[in-house]
Every structure is written in structure tokens, then in C-alpha cells.
Amino acid sequence: MSEVKEQFDNLVSEGEELIITNRSGIKKAKKWSANVRDWLKENLPDSGLSEDVSMALPSFESTQSGRGLRPVDKKGVQRILGILLRAKKILPVLLSTEEKYEPTSNGITKVFVVHGHDEALKANVARLVERLGLEAVILHEQPNLGRTIIEKFSDHSNVAYALVLLTGDDVGGKVSESKDNQMLRARQNVIFELGYFVGKLGRNKVSAIYQDSVELPSDYQGIVFIPHDDRAAWELLVARELRDAGLPVDLNKI
């Protein structure tokens, strides 16, 4: 393992630890954020990612009582972690052996859209997929034909790519923590289907579009997390991922 990749993996692991545990406080989060910014500045000086980290730095309160991070601080860490993970698309050395692949869709142009309760985002993503000349597969729009949900899901999962929408439909946290520390989360079926498609298609053919306030699931390194924004910048990021996966996408159609 190269030194650069080892540093990157350590930063990702530390960021996930900050998000999913409550043992770390303000000082550690500040130090980690600064380390991410400095690593990006050193290894990807012209990417603009280090500047993005500087803009996304959470306003930690040094006077905060207690050891754990507030939900708003965890969201800041999550945002910076998402920026860090974009480096994998720029530095090939960060990819593990199984992630290096030849883009191909085998002629399949179907894109499965995994969604929660946000109907507007689901519709926007489906329209984008169709505008790019691909077929959006939304499970509840398919006929049941007497099948169970899992049978229906399995029958329609022969796709080239999966877009998973992480929207704030549930809340959750550790039982031992105060409800004030709970964060918005995607529905359980959405997380299940995310894992299903990672296993079926591979990590390079799955992307997650997440709302800013939603907690990112842990142990999904290698997945592309795309922040949803009101300026529709996410549409270009999604189109590029689909194109890079071998799908016939014309970016001029966005």
C-alpha cells in the first residue's frame, strides 16, 4: 500500500469514527478537519477540494460542554468526509485492486432508483436519468404479478447502475445517547437496497445522492456520495458517474 493511500484510508476511518461514535470531542474533530484540508492541498492542489473543506468547516464551539459532538458538528464532519471521498475519482492510486475495472454496461441502459419518502427528489432523479437517454427503474411503478416485495425487487435488479437516495425519513442514534443527538437517517429498506446493489453490481456502479442533513451510513467506503443541492450541480455529478460506468450518456442533455 502506498503512503498516500494509507494516509487517505486513515483519514476516512477517523472521519467515520467521529460520525458513528460519541467518544470524540471538538478538539479531535477540529484536528481531523484540518488534516483533511492539508492532505488534499498537498496531494490534489489544483482540484479545489481543499478549498471546499475550508468552506465546509463546521463552526465548532470551544465552550461546548461534554465530550461528544453535537448533531450539527457531526453533519459538518460528514460533509467534509464526502469531500474527501471525491479524491478517489481523481487519484487512481486510492483505488483498491477490486475497484479498478473496465467501464461497461453490457448493453443494459436501466438505472434502478432506490428511494425513500421524498417524492420530489425521486421524480427529479428519474427525469434526469430519462433525459440522459436511459431507463429509470422505480420498483413501485412495476407490476406486482403476485410476487412478494423481495421477489419483485430481485426480478427488476438486472440493471447497469443504481442511484440510491438518502433522504431524512427516519431518525436514529445509540440507545445510550440523548434523543437530542439523534440524526436524520434514510429508511431501513433504502440502506438494505444500497448494500444489495453494492454486492450485485460492485461499488463503482452505485452512487448515493444524499441530503445535507442526513447521516451517511458507515462501512460504505468506495461508494460515491453526491450531495444534493438546490443549484442542480448534483445532476452533472450523477451524469458523469453514469458515463464513467460505461453508459451511453451525453452530458449536453443535462
pTM of the model: 0.67
Q: Among 64, 95, 126, where does a domain finish?
A: 95
Q: What is the pLDDT of residue 61?
A: 57
164 pLDDT higher than 90: yes
The CATH number of residue 153's host domain is 3.40.50.450
Q: What is the pLDDT of residue 99?
A: 52
The larger pLDDT score, comparing residue 37 to residue 175, is at 37
My answer on whether 174 and 64 are in the same domain is no
My answer on whether 160 and 240 are in the same domain is yes
Q: What is the pLDDT of residue 24?
A: 62
My answer on whether 246 and 146 are in the same domain is yes
My answer on whether 117 and 86 are in the same domain is no
Residue-number span of the structural domain to which 59 is assigned: 3-95
Q: Among 63, 95, 127, where does a domain finish?
A: 95
Angstrom distance (rounded) from CA 103 to CA 174: 40
Spatial contact of 241 and 253, defined as CB atoms under 8 Å apart: no
My answer on whether 145 and 219 are in the same domain is yes
My answer on whether 109 and 48 are in the same domain is no
Domain count, the chain: 2
What is the rounded radius of gyration, in angstroms, for the C-alpha atoms of the chain? Answer: 19
My answer on whether 38 and 115 are in the same domain is no
**Tens-digit pLDDT profile for residues 112-146:** 999 999 999 999 999 999 999 999 999 988 888 88
My answer on whether 77 and 138 are in the same domain is no
Q: What is the mean pLDDT of residues 210-235?
A: 78
